[in-house]
C-alpha cells in the first residue's frame, strides 16, 4: 500500500513540475489558446460646431459631420453655408 501511495505522489510531483516548466516556457495552458481580444478604444469624433471631441457612440452624425449634441447639430445645419 505504501508503494502505491509513493507512486501516486511521484506522479503528482511530476505533473506539477511539468506544469511549472510549461508555464516557465511561456506555453499556453490547454483550452486557453486564444485570449479574448481587448475592446477597441472608442473613436473620438470632433464636433463640427464647437470642436469638442466626443466618443463616436455618444456623438450625433449628420451629413458627414459629427456633433457633441443635437443642439450643435441643429445650429450647424441652420448656420449659413460659406
Ligand atoms: Zn459641440
The predicted structure's pLDDT at residue 69:
96
pLDDT digits (tens, 9 = 90+) for 10-25: 989 999 899 999 989 8
- What's the CA gap between 81 and 72, in Å, rounded? 15
pLDDT digits (tens, 9 = 90+) for 66-79: 999 999 999 999 98
Which residue's C-alpha cell is 450625433? Answer: 60
The predicted structure's pLDDT at residue 28:
66
**Helices then strands, each counted (H, E), the chain:** 2, 4
The predicted structure's pLDDT at residue 80:
80
Distance 64 CA to ligand 1 centre (A): 15
Task: Give φ, ψ of 20 to 5 degrees.
Answer: -65, -40
Distance 59 CA to ligand 1 centre (A): 9
Distance 40 CA to ligand 1 centre (A): 24
Distance 70 CA to ligand 1 centre (A): 8
Q: Look at residue 23 and give its three-state secondary structure.
A: helix
pLDDT digits (tens, 9 = 90+) for 27-59: 765 665 566 677 778 899 999 999 999 999 999
Distance 2 CA to ligand 1 centre (A): 79
- What's the CA gap between 50 and 47, in Å, rounded? 6
Amino acid at each position: 500500500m505504501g508503494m502505491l501511495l509513493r507512486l501516486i505522489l511521484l506522479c503528482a510531483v511530476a505533473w506539477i513540475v511539468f506544469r511549472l516548466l510549461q508555464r516557465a516556457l511561456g506555453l499556453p495552458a490547454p483550452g486557453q489558446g486564444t485570449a479574448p481580444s481587448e475592446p477597441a478604444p472608442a473613436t473620438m469624433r470632433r464636433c463640427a460646431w464647437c470642436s469638442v471631441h466626443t466618443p463616436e457612440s455618444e456623438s450625433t452624425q449628420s451629413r458627414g459631420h459629427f456633433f457633441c449634441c443635437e443642439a450643435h447639430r441643429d445650429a450647424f445645419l441652420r448656420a449659413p453655408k460659406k
